[in-house]
């Protein structure tokens, strides 16, 4: 996976990035990279000027190759609302990027004390999505996550005196999550699965299954999707 600036993608109505824009992304990235496990001069983060990282004591970002913040245009342009991409790490929290990843504008990753979010190589977020982690959220390699997706490992509230604790979320490799979908606590999504737009996933999803609806149910099996 390459960053849009690096492969010459120019969405309709937009001009190619100027050298000044690229320099600004380098400078912002170098500043935000102070939160990473690599030295800033290696530029583990490459970011637009709106990008923000907030990290409390003991928190860190591990980056295998590079994390791009704020750019994920489609061939028709940006689908997000242009808000800032934000990473918030509480005490002892970890964001582990296993290679390269893109967080489009408006993407927010919120990790609670001691929690860990792990994201595989070449996984991208189109924008305006949320990853909310109290303990553990794992997303595999080559996943495509559309806009306004929510992934969270918290139950938040209880009903009928049921006292559910937070449960890990695990998303396999090469999973496509459609716009507006929600992946709830305790869910495991198998490799190659497709989550339809607007689906609310409350149960495990088999590998290579297409699921949709509220709550999400299997619509087709043995599906294949292409980047």
Active site residues: 157
Which H, E and C letters describe the chain, residue by residue?
A: CCCHHHHCCCCCCCCCCCHHHHHHHHHHHHHHHHHECCCHHHCCEEECCCCEEEECCCCEEEECCEEEECCCCECCECCCCCCCCEEEECCCCEEEEECEEEECCCCEEEECCCCEEEEECCEEECCCCEEEECCEEEECCCCEECCCCEEECCCCCCCCCCCCCCCCEEECCCCEECCCCEECCCCEECCCCEECCCCEECCCECCCCEEECCCCEEEECCCCCCC
């Amino acid at each position: 996976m390459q960053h849009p600036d690096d492969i010459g993608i120019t969405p309709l109505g937009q001009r190619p990035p100027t050298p000044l824009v690229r320099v600004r992304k380098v400078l912002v990235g170098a500043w935000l990279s102070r939160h990473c496990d690599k030295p800033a001069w290696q530029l583990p983060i490459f970011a637009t000027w709106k990008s923000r990282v907030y990290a409390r004591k003991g928190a860190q970002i591990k980056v295998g190759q590079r994390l791009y913040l704020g750019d994920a245009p489609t061939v028709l342009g940006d689908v997000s609302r242009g808000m800032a991409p934000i990473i918030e790490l509480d005490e002892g929290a970890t964001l582990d990027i296993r290679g390269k990843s893109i967080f489009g504008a408006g993407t927010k990753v919120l990790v609670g004390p001691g929690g860990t979010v792990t994201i595989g190589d070449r996984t991208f977020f189109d924008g305006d999505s949320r990853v909310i982690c109290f303990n553990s959220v794992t997303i595999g390699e080559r996943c495509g996550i559309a806009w306004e997706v929510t992934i969270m490992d918290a139950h938040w509230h209880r009903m009928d005196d049921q006292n559910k604790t937070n449960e890990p979320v695990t998303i396999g490799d090469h999973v496509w999550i459609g716009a507006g979908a929600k992946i709830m606590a305790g869910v495991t999504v198998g490799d190659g699965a497709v989550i339809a737009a607007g689906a609310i996933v409350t149960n495990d999803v088999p590998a290579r299954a297409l699921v949709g609806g509220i709550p999400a149910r299997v619509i087709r099996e043995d599906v294949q999707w292409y980047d």
